[in-house]
Amino acid sequence: TFGLMIFAFTTIIGWSVYGERCVEYLFGVKAILPFRILWVVAIPLGATVKLAFVWLLADTLNALMAIPNLIALVLLGPVVFRLTLNYFDREA
């Protein structure tokens, strides 16, 4: 039980710091305080809502992260293909 508590606490702290750095990089220093407020509100919500909703939210947010990556793959695929052909033609 103690180990699980330590794991949960350090995970919350670790993701908080990581998220804060990402928010600072993307939106600037002024966005840190709203992120911290949102994070503090999200902790008790995450601990009290139904597990099915947590999984639904996690799946939805992961899908939203995949969308820009899939678009980039489609748009940059021809570039990677061309560069790969150039590389192997140069080696031959």
CA–chain centroid gap for 33, Å, is 19
Tell me what pLDDT residue 74 has: 96
Render pLDDT for 47-88 as a digit per residue (tens, 0 to 9).
Answer: 899 999 999 999 999 999 999 999 999 999 999 999 999 999
How many whole angstroms separate alpha carbon 61 and alpha carbon 65?
Answer: 6
- Provide the whole-model pTM: 0.64
Average model confidence (pLDDT) for the chain?
94
As a dihedral over the C-alpha atoms of residue 18, residue 20, residue 26, residue 31, rounded to 10 degrees, the angle is 170
Q: For the CA atoms of the chain, what is the radius of gyration?
A: 20
Distance, first Cα to last Cα, the chain: 60
Render pLDDT for 6-42 as a digit per residue (tens, 0 to 9).
Answer: 999 999 999 999 999 999 999 999 999 999 999 999 9
Tell me what pLDDT residue 84 has: 94
